[in-house]
Amino acid sequence: MADGVAGAPVVLVVDDSMTMRRIMIDALRSFAEARVHEAASAEEALEFLRASGADLVLLDWHLPGMSGLDLIVKMQADARLARIPVVMVTSEREKANVIAALRAGARNYIVKPFTQPVFRKKVGPFLEAGGRALEETRGRLVGNLAQTSPLEVVQLISMTRKTGVLEMEGSGGRFSLYFENGNLVHAEGGETSGEEAFAACAALSDGTFTFKAEAPAHPISVRRPTNVILLEQLSKG
């Protein structure tokens, strides 16, 4: 099934429960325009994604046959699908499994049953502004931190292995993050540097960001893997 306004972001809702799919779709409709497609299994979802793509996938963990986690792994192995954001919406609440899903490539995680404010907070940034939370022009990414969180921007840079400088500025201060091939190697701002600066930057909820694809000289203040630091911050959300 598909419905929605022409030109709106395409959302694939994957859950073996028709009732749960309807709940997610109704929650989605309460704050965003979207062209919605449904799938009752990971296999059906993968077939749709390979044929048509999507702007966002809302995905259950426990599905008949292939699991939601397995679907994420297959998406990450396919260059055409790896950049599609996946938000898991599931009753699976074990912290180890939340971390496993984020490590596999999920962009966010919602535990059922969820409230409308939680659903909007975690799904909204991928759909607001007509699905264009950020734009890329001549090597630059620009966007609004009210629509795309700092962690989501960092995830994108990491996943696409970009080299450059990410500047973020909001009511919480101004921060500069330096990346080499998608790895965060230095962060500074708010009179701090390294992982302390990154943690402060991750708390920004307003303001703007700009990423420039360049490689200026900088110190090395972040030595742990970027995915580990991201998982720590995401697990706090």
Q: What are phi and psi of 2, to 5 degrees?
A: -140, 140
The string of pLDDT tens digits covering residues 53-77 is 999 999 999 999 999 999 999 999 9
Residues 11, 119: one domain? yes
Domain count of the chain? Answer: 2
- The conformation of residue 94, written as its DSSP 8-state character, comes to -
Three-state secondary structure call for residue 117? helix
Lowest mean pLDDT among 2-16, 55-69, 132-146, 222-236: 132-146
In this prediction, residue 8 carries a pLDDT of 84
Confidence of residue 131 (pLDDT cuts 50, 70, 90): very low
In this prediction, residue 107 carries a pLDDT of 83
Residues 145, 61: one domain? no
Of 126, 160, 181, the position where a domain reaches its end is: 126
**pTM higher than 0.95, yes or no?**
no
Share of the chain above pLDDT 70, in %: 90
Confidence of residue 133 (pLDDT cuts 50, 70, 90): very low
Tokens 């972040």, residue?
222
Residues 80, 117: one domain? yes
Give the chain's mean pLDDT: 87
Residues 115, 7: one domain? yes
Both tokens of 24, joined, read 């997610």
Residues 167, 214: one domain? yes
CATH number at residue 72: 3.40.50.2300
**Which residues are within 8 A (CB) of 152 and not within 5 positions of it... i.e. 6 or more apart?**
85, 107, 108, 125, 133
Residues 147, 179: one domain? yes
User: Of 60-64, 103-107, 108-112, where does the model show the most confidence?
Assistant: 60-64
Residues 121, 146: one domain? no
Of 97, 126, 155, the position where a domain reaches its end is: 126
Residues 35, 85: one domain? yes
Task: Kindly write down the DSSP assignment for every residue of 143-184, as one continuous string.
Answer: EETTTS-HHHHHHHHHHTT--EEEEEEETTEEEEEEEETTEE
Residues 118, 194: one domain? no
Residues 7, 116: one domain? yes
Cα angle vertex 237, ends 187, 87, to 5°? 105
The string of pLDDT tens digits covering residues 90-103 is 998 887 888 888 88
Residues 9, 121: one domain? yes
Of 100, 126, 152, the position where a domain reaches its end is: 126
Range of the domain at 121: 2-126
Residues 19, 118: one domain? yes
The answer to whether residues 49 and 75 touch, using CB atoms and an 8 Å cutoff, is: yes
